[in-house]
Amino acid sequence: MASAAEQLASNLNFAAFAKAEDLKKRIWFTLGALLVYRLGTYIPLPGINPDAFAQAFQQQSGGVLGMFNMFAGGAVERMAIFALGIMPYISASIIMQLMTSIIPTLEQLKKEGEQGRKVINQYTRYGTVILATVQAYGIAVGLEGGNQIVTDPGWFFRISTVITLVGGTMFLMWLGEQITARGIGNGISLIIFSGIVAGLPSAISGTLELGRTGALSTGLILAIIILAIVVIAVIVFFERAQRRLLIQYPKRQVGNRMFQGDTSHLPLKLNTAGVIPPIFASSLLLLPATVAGFSDTTTLPAWASTVLATLGHGQPLYMLLYAAMIVFFAFFYTAIVFNPKDTADQLKKHSGFIPGYRPGERTAEYIDYVLTRITVVGAIYLVLVCLMPEFLISATGVPFYLGGTSLLIVVSVTLDTVAQVQGHLIAHQYEGLIKKSKLRGGKRGR
């Protein structure tokens, strides 16, 4: 069976892709939806002075706004209708995941299957509206506090800004769900992916321009390209790495027949937390600098100025806290999304067991032990990938567009999307084989 699947996967080629009409429709739908998203990042909010806002944004581009602008595909820099992006929905989803592990009612809903997931998704949408409303109102007030950014400040501008930004976020949430259902890949992830990748051409052209003017040597540019390729290969390896626990099922008798016991594997990802730890860590570290940027720096006390200086990019304290937060959130988020006790209970319910360990509590302890050990490796991997661009920028002064977090997102989404495309091709070829076998059977019958 395994060899047949491998042979089938090896036969995936352009001829098979050309015959997969449903897959082509899904790809075209995904590209069209992402094009709509990109167009929306260029539609500015009404009542904004673009030149004044561009000048104010340049002063704050090194803080949280710069990171959000990259995730939003430049919409924050242009203060477009999609400036909030999909981040409120992601934040609401993370909050709901935390609440499902704390509140028994939500935890029970999570175990009820499809109906329970629909209820939790609806709560997540409500939370998205609340978070987006609060953030949009804060943006409106912040814009009014800027130097002639808003042409006509007042409650009309605040209300219109809140409605526009919240509507943009809800439209992106709906668009992501449509991509997931009718396109290829995870819609929310693809929206973030397209926003990050949209800035790559300008970043590459800027780096080449620095090389042309002599600001960067050709050898250094080649070294950066080689380093980026190596980092991408490392990310691919670790994101696909799994620790598989052997699961056995006992022999069972159905009527007068005895069926041999089956074996399978419980896959544990090396990086269960994904990109959440770097996002949380960088957001918390950049928040003080962003808040200070909107205030009068001359009125800050001496100790506050010293803390802000030590928390700057490339500073030792920043690096140390960044690494510590990544490790903490890697363990914290893994504990939230994966419950060894529930997994052990499910195995026991289906008569499965890990050889050498009794079903139930002992199995849960063993799964937790293995998960903790591989999470240590996963956390170290995240720290190295995320800190390397920081070291590169501080040591050489080279502008590195794709930081650790964005690089993780780009590679992870690419791997997931390619896997889904291959899955559709394999399903299409299986359907073709089944149709051929039916036709042959029909001819033999005649």
pLDDT band (50, 70, 90) for residue 98: confident
pLDDT digits (tens, 9 = 90+) for 119-165: 888 888 999 999 899 888 888 888 887 677 888 888 898 999 999 99
Q: Which of 4-18, 300-314, 337-351 has the highest mean pLDDT?
A: 337-351
CA distance 238 to 376: 13
Q: Which residue has the higher pLDDT, 297 or 81?
A: 81
Q: Please enumerate in sequence order all residues whose Cβ is within 8 A of that of 260, keeping only pairs 6 or more positions apart, or say none.
A: 251
Instruction: Give the pLDDT confidence score for residue 163 in this predicted structure.
Output: 94
pLDDT digits (tens, 9 = 90+) for 195-220: 888 878 877 787 778 778 877 778 87
Name the nearest CA neighbour of 399 among 213, 216, 233, 198.
Answer: 216
Q: Which residue has the higher pLDDT, 9 or 42?
A: 42
Q: What residue ranges do the domains of the chain occupy?
A: 21-198, 220-402
Q: Please enumerate in sequence order all residues whose Cβ is within 8 A of that of 11, keeping only pairs 6 or more positions apart, or say none.
A: 429
- 21-198 and 220-402: identical CATH topology: yes
Average pLDDT over residues 245-260: 70
Instruction: Give the pLDDT confidence score for residue 44 in this predicted structure.
Output: 86
Tokens at 215, concatenated: 């600001």
Average pLDDT over residues 1-29: 61
Span of 7-11, 148-152, 401-405, 412-416 with lowest mean pLDDT = 7-11
Strands (E), 263-312: 263-269
Q: Please enumerate in sequence order all residues whose Cβ is within 8 A of that of 268, keeping only pairs 6 or more positions apart, or say none.
A: 242, 243, 244, 245, 338, 367, 370, 371, 374
**Is 279's pLDDT higher than 90?**
no
CATH 3.40.50.2300 fits 220-402, yes or no: no
Instruction: Give the pLDDT confidence score for residue 218 in this predicted structure.
Output: 80
Instruction: Give the pLDDT confidence score for residue 197 in this predicted structure.
Output: 85
Q: Which of 59-63, 227-231, 247-251, 428-432 has the highest mean pLDDT?
A: 227-231
The H-assigned helical ranges of 338-403 are 340-349, 361-396
Contact 319, 390 (CB under 8 A): yes
Work out the percent of the chain whose per-residue pLDDT is above 90.
Answer: 14
305 by DSSP, 3-state: which?
helix
Q: Which residue has the higher pLDDT, 184 or 398?
A: 184
Considering the domain 21-198, what is its CATH architecture?
Orthogonal Bundle (1.10)
Instruction: Give the pLDDT confidence score for residue 2 in this predicted structure.
Output: 41
**Is 392's pLDDT higher than 90?**
no
Average pLDDT over residues 316-320: 83
Q: Which sign, positive or negative, has the C-alpha torsion 76, 79, 82, 87?
A: positive
Average pLDDT over residues 377-406: 77
Name the nearest CA neighbour of 334 among 233, 236, 237, 243.
Answer: 243
Tokens 């029909």 belong to 442
Average model confidence (pLDDT) across the chain: 79
Instruction: Give the pLDDT confidence score for residue 10 in this predicted structure.
Output: 46
